[in-house]
Amino acid sequence: MPMPFYPEPAYTHGQAPRTGVLLCNLGTPDAPTPSALRRYLGQFLSDQRVVEIPKPLWWLILHGIILRTRPRKSAAKYASVWTPEGSPLAVWTAKQAALLHDALEDAGHHVLVRHAMRYGNPSIASQLDALKAEGATRILILPLYPQYSGPTTASVCDAVYAWAARTRHIPELRFVNHYHDDAGYIDALAASLKNHWKRHGPPDKLVMSFHGVPERTLHLGDPYHCESHKTARLLAQRMGLQKDDYQVTFQSRFGKAKWLQPYTEPTLVQLAQSGVERVDVICPGFSSDCLETLEEINQEAREAFLHAGGKEFHYIPCLNDSPGWIAALQGIAQQHLLGWPTQAPDRMVQASAKAHALAGGAPEGA
């Protein structure tokens, strides 16, 4: 039986087409509770882009073990970073969307900007529906993942394609795959380092921690490992760092498979044991502070480094709502919006009417 199409919003002839931008982030539970984590993890870990294990076997592991034990532990971790406004990831992503809208507006681009989560709320499908209802006939999908990877960027594409498969009148779609080497993005990272070092001085070692993925994805052609290292290299060059001044690591392992190495926390322990007294940790692959940066790095990794003999641990926050990051997003969006109409809706109506009149032979201004 074919899947039903989503109901289409009412269409008005002569309605000016609009352009939309959808910022997409990974996702977050609705609350730091076991029940909310069970729903969130169930959706996240059911994605075959995230866990590439044969589906029947993984279903038994996921529902028989993981979703029975992990939600309570994860809920406690989320509770340690939850804010009065909600999940840090949700708060920062919403702010980024609002600030990007204002930046584009100030630059003369009157576009709709919304944000969505690949897992959790607001969903990608619901936000695409909302953009269509607001008149968007062209939509730019902008994942908040600077480095491309199958479990992140490609999974966003999957969600958009799934929505399109059930949509009768599909808008024109464009996707931003990566911007790991974008000059504005590198400048924003450099500015955050400079601001921190201006206040605290440089460390003995800078650790650039990226989210991990299974090592097999590298051998299967995923460019994430290479793009992460290129980001690190460009940032180091921008800061005038030598190879011995910084270390690239990968965090957030899941399961027993071999993931990209070196791993972040063991590396920090080794640095402390080798006599490194102060480390600064930055997470260039995360656009917003979240559980993986605030709890895993600034709590667990900090404790591991200090317990192993380190003296000072400085976590440098993600780009969040920094002016440099918003400017970088604006530049990336503008680059990929080229050729699409982004003027005010009333001007588009006037332009459309003028073109129609000229095509029909009516005198200009009639």
Contact 190/27 with Cβ under 8 angstroms? no
Contact 235/189 with Cβ under 8 angstroms? yes
DSSP reduced 3-state for 58: helix
Residue 292 labelled as part of a binding site = yes
Tokens 């317990």 locate to 307
Contact 140/337 with Cβ under 8 angstroms? yes
Contact 299/73 with Cβ under 8 angstroms? no
Return the amino acid letter for 160.
V
Contact 113/343 with Cβ under 8 angstroms? no
Bridge partner list, 25? 117
Q: What is the rounded CA–CA span in Å between residue 189 and residue 324?
A: 8
Tokens 């897992």 locate to 119
Q: Please report, in range form, the residues annotated as the binding site.
A: 211, 292
Q: Please report, in range form, the residues annotated as the binding site for Fe(2+).
A: 211, 292
